[in-house]
Amino acid sequence: MEITPPATIAARFEAQRQAFLKEPNPTYEARLSRLDRLLALTDANEAAVVAAIDADFSGRAAQETRLAEMFVVRAGIRHAKSHLRRWMRVKRAPTGLHFRPGYNRLMPQPLGVVGVVSPWNYPFQLALAPALAALAAGNRVMIKPSELTPAFSALLERLIAGAFDPDEVCVVTGDAETGKAFTALPFDHLIFTGSTAVGRVVAQAAAANLTPVTLELGGKSPAIFDPSCDVDVSVERLAFGKLLNAGQTCIAPDYLMVPKGQAEAVAGKFSAAVAKMYPSLVDNPDYTAIISQRHRTRLVELVDEARAAGARVIEINPANERFESNATRKLAPTIVLDPPADTRLMREEIFGPVLPILEYDGVDEAIARVRQGDHPLALYWFGTDRAARERVLGETLSGGVTVNDCLWHIGQEDQPFGGVGASGMGAYHGEWGFNTFSKLKPVFYQSRLNGIVLFRPPYGQAFERILGLLKRVT
């Protein structure tokens, strides 16, 4: 992967800025053409994308890339294409009685040049899902993919260069210093997906240019088993959600809360569900590796610290394989029972195949545990007790929720996806993405005949009467 020099980054930005000034409001046909080319790129290069991501991870399930990346992007493009004409229309807006027969309209307009900073965990999806929304809205797009996926980043740069003029869409490759140069540009909007710590740095860089940001971060997303849940079904769904991409998912269930006295039983069922999906691990192509040795070492340290603090650790290793010398950086799924609250495992986002299980005594305690930390990006509740469910939904704040399953709220193009507080700001997907990357410009159309003349000086009794009337009716 080559490093794009700062001067080249600035030149590409300026080229896109000038191209946007020449075409400040692309036609429906122009936007559709860009979406069609993005879709064609996705369809024609699935095998190459799968291979590149597999190489970067030293073992990434092809089916996970096809489902969680290619399918999601393809669905997003098709959704945008089918709704684009409606999204682009000038929209009616209500008009106060005292301003009629004047009327209001909302006019969606592109912002200009949008910057996309994407992470390593889902490098295709989290680069192109924001990009497709920005293109639908009529913008130019620059993408900075992660340096931790060099094979994919180099591939993406080639594919985008083959499908788009550089003043439409381009890719900037490089390390953290390249990222700093990228985020320092005066974009018209900047979207970043990654850790909360780096998100703060990105927001500060954007603030210097008054660049609006969308931050998709993470946090400790809880899963809650209510006493009313079907434990067998819930455990299988939780295991899939936790171990997709080996837990390296921003909305993965970070820890599980179960009713008091059920932790041991749930741990046993979770182990059985994992063994059913992954009867072996080291050479199993269905089980994804950790992205780097540094990330794997961190996960081992989190577990070791919790064990030293008194937690019980259960390694799920159905085939009794050895992981010490495994060249793919795979890590066995691990349960940690009742880790102390002050351990790193319970303070940091885990981002790996490690599941802490905590017991709780009643819905009040479950809600209190969720609320004592930062607002999570996701929350998962399992059960049939409607009153308990509504209490959890109403008394906790999170970016999104899936009830009786994990992850699937992210795939809803008719719903916004985004965080809240430390888990992010802003949202995209579907029409929310179009609106995020647009200026919904309010326009008031004044009528030739209107009563506004009554508000002009010289002020007198007529002014007072009209103002008094409006105070009573508005």
Active-site residues, by number, are 216, 250
| Kind and range of the H or E run holding 182 | helix 176-183
Q: In angstroms, rounded to a whole number, what is the distance separating the alpha carbons of residues 236 and 406? A: 10
Q: In angstroms, rounded to a whole number, what is the distance separating the alpha carbons of residues 300 and 314? A: 13
Query: What residues contact 132, with CB distance under 8 A and at least 6 apart?
Result: 35, 38, 73, 76, 77, 80, 433
Q: Which two tokens stand for residue 222?
A: 């809880």
Q: What is 261-302 written as a DSSP string?
A: T-HHHHHHHHHHHHHHH-S--TT-TTSPPPS-HHHHHHHHHH
Of 235, 233, 256, whose CA–CA distance to 350 is shortest? Answer: 256
Of 139, 157, 159, 116, whose CA–CA distance to 34 is shortest? Answer: 139
Pairing of strands 103-110, 91-93: antiparallel
DSSP secondary-structure letter at 99? G
Helix count and strand count (H, E) for the chain: 17, 16
Q: What angle do CA 55, 58, 61 make, to 5 degrees?
A: 85
Q: In angstroms, rounded to a whole number, what is the distance separating the alpha carbons of residues 396 and 379? A: 9
SS3 content of the chain, % helix, strand, coil (to 5): 45, 15, 35
Q: What is 329-344 written as a DSSP string?
A: -----EEEES--TTSH
Q: Where are the beta strands (DSSP E) in 46-177?
A: 91-93, 103-110, 113-117, 140-144, 169-171
DSSP secondary-structure letter at 260? T
Q: In angstroms, rounded to a whole number, what is the distance separating the alpha carbons of residues 173 and 222? A: 34
3-state secondary structure 241-258: HHHHHHHCCCCCCCEEEE
Q: In angstroms, rounded to a whole number, what is the distance separating the alpha carbons of residues 1 and 157? A: 10
